[in-house]
Amino acid sequence: MTKKPFGTLPQKDLLTVAQLGPGDVETIFGATTAIKSDRAAYSEALRGKRLAMIFEKDSLRTRFTFDVGMQDLGGSAVFMDHRDVRLGSRESLKDMARNLERWVDGIVARVFKQRALEEIAANCNIPVINGLSDHVHPCQALSDFFTLTERWGNVKGRRLVYVGDGNNTCHSLLHVAARLGAHITVCSPEGYEPNARVVSEAMLMARESGSDIQITNDPELAVKGADAVYTDVWASMGQEDEIEERSSIFNDYRVDEEMMALAKPDALFMHCLPAHRGQEVTAGVIDGPNSIVYDIAENRLHVQKAILVLLMGDKR
């Protein structure tokens, strides 16, 4: 008989971590631990269930982990490639959503605009999961912090320093840190800080959890004494025309051996991948002994399987 993860998620969708309650992240992590530790026990958790995978952007980790995850859980996934034809151009998002809910049991979407996800979710009665948008990347940040939890036992009171562009991944890291009581410092060049609304959301959550949130432009000050250092590409998908300009602006924000030496001796290095060695991080750091980038990539599979079961599984 298939085991069930502990707890449930009251939400229909996972569009952003900001919509999760104080105990919801722990529920996801508890389910992740259970599923990761006994794959066979959950091999029929989503038997007969189907997932639609709508992708406007290229993907390795998100596409493979959701597809393989559904197979591991006894379900199936159907890939919908929208890289050439943008969502809503051939058919309205409303009509797409209302058709899909008749055929499948859940949707994961990797999109350019957060509002596209919100419109899909508003027009169907099946779960919608954010596989990445211009605003947030919740599955990535949940996998990041689950990996830290595995390493440390508890992230509360630990400090993660994010160095680089205040982008979608950074936004979700702020949300998860604030929910779990982890301290987080974001260090970006002036004008590239995280969205002010996201910072306000995180600050509000931090009042409950005890998380300390700092935003700065000074890499040396930020990284000093850090428990973990995180970076991401300087130009995300859709910003290719800004690569040359950003390379100059972000040059002092490269995570190299000298910067890591400012953190604690056992500080972990984190990156959501794909990485550009020699740009945002040196090869010596990302390929070094304190790098956990591939542990995080593996945990994308386990965390997303937990999310799928919690949102698409039997709620009885």
Establish whether 207 is a catalytic residue.
Answer: no
Total length of the chain: 316
Angle subtended at Cα 284 by Cα 283 and Cα 285, rounded to the nearest 5 degrees: 90
Q: List the catalytic residue out of 72, 140, 227, 302.
A: 140
The H or E element that residue 162 is part of is strand 159-163
| Active-site pick, 144, 300, 302, 304 | 300
Of 61, 63, 82, 110, the active-site residue reads: 110
Residue 137 falls in the annotated catalytic set:
yes
Sign, CA torsion 40/45/51/57: negative
Paired with 216 in beta bridges are 187
110 is catalytic: yes
**Whether 254 is catalytic:** no
Instruction: Say which residues have a Cβ less than 8 Å from residue 130's Cβ, sequence separation at least 6.
Output: 14, 15, 16, 108, 109, 114, 117, 136, 137, 138, 139
Q: In the annotation, is 124 catalytic?
A: no
Distance CA 205, CA 222 (A): 22
140 is catalytic: yes
Catalytic pick among 232, 271, 302, 304: 232
Catalytic residue among 63, 137, 158, 179: 137
Instruction: Single out the catalytic residue among 124, 170, 187, 272.
Output: 272
Q: Which of 106, 63, 109 is nearest to 86 (CA)?
A: 109
Residues belonging to the active site = 110, 137, 140, 232, 272, 300
